[in-house]
Amino acid sequence: MKLSIIMPVYNEIRTIEEIIRRVKEADTSCTKELILVDDASTDGTREFLKRLESQPQDEIKALFHEVNKGKGAAIRTGLQQVSGDLVLIQDADTEYDPSDYNKLLEPILKGYADAVFGNRFHGGPHRVLYFWHSLGNRCITTLSNILTNLNLSDMEVGYKIFRTEVLKKLNLRSNRFGFEPEVTVKLAKLGCRIYEVPISYHGRTYEEGKKITWRDGIVAIYCLIRYYFFD
């Protein structure tokens, strides 16, 4: 089977070369393609990807937004170009480790799951960081579970993998970090089989480039209600 890895990228010049290397070196039972979507970076990331694009490689493709649209929009752009049986979302920082790919793939390859979510907080090593972030994540995950009748532990996790045909059925709309609650609600409404697996998590601070804020938590709550009741 073929795994398409969509990597939304925005101002990640400090990590982009390293994460591409890790993705390429990740040992999986699937063949891989990497689709990078630059979301109008201004820190030199875009120029780095342009140079990468000028040296074409079969397994890597770079796409470019002319204006910043957000993570969800970048995923939709990448989704139009995938050729794999499976789609995995990979952030362009180094918080998530591509050595966990096989853990995420296993439930799908064995025929148990349509989508697999990583779990940052049960079973794998993770960096100890912000209390209020972890509390907010638990509250949003709880609200998600109440609406969807799922028992997820980490709805907002950035590591998610899907069967391509399932992901393309969802008619995704969110442009920014609302992708996570939207895709969760729509998978649940479609009756998809969802698994969780423990992953390692090397979180970063705002000084190190973290972008999500409390405002995104408010947006996540809005998206859960919107996509459950009105879409």
Q: What is the pLDDT of residue 213?
A: 80
What are the helix (H) ranges across the chain?
16-25, 45-53, 71-79, 101-109, 131-148, 164-167, 179-189, 214-229
pLDDT tens for 25-48 read 999 989 999 999 999 999 999 999
> Which tokens belong to 161?
């993998």
3-state secondary structure of 124: coil
Number of domains observed in the structure of the chain: 1
Q: What is the pLDDT of residue 132?
A: 75
pLDDT tens for 48-76 read 999 998 887 779 999 999 999 999 999 99
Nearest to 65 by CA among 19, 18, 20, 9: 9
Containing structural domain, residue 50? 2-229
For residue 8, report the phi and psi dihedrals to the nearest 5 degrees.
-70, 135
For residue 151, report the phi and psi dihedrals to the nearest 5 degrees.
-125, 50
Q: What is the pLDDT of residue 75?
A: 97
Share of the chain above pLDDT 70, in %: 95
CATH number at residue 222: 3.90.550.10
Q: Band the pLDDT of 129: cuts 50, 70, 90.
A: low
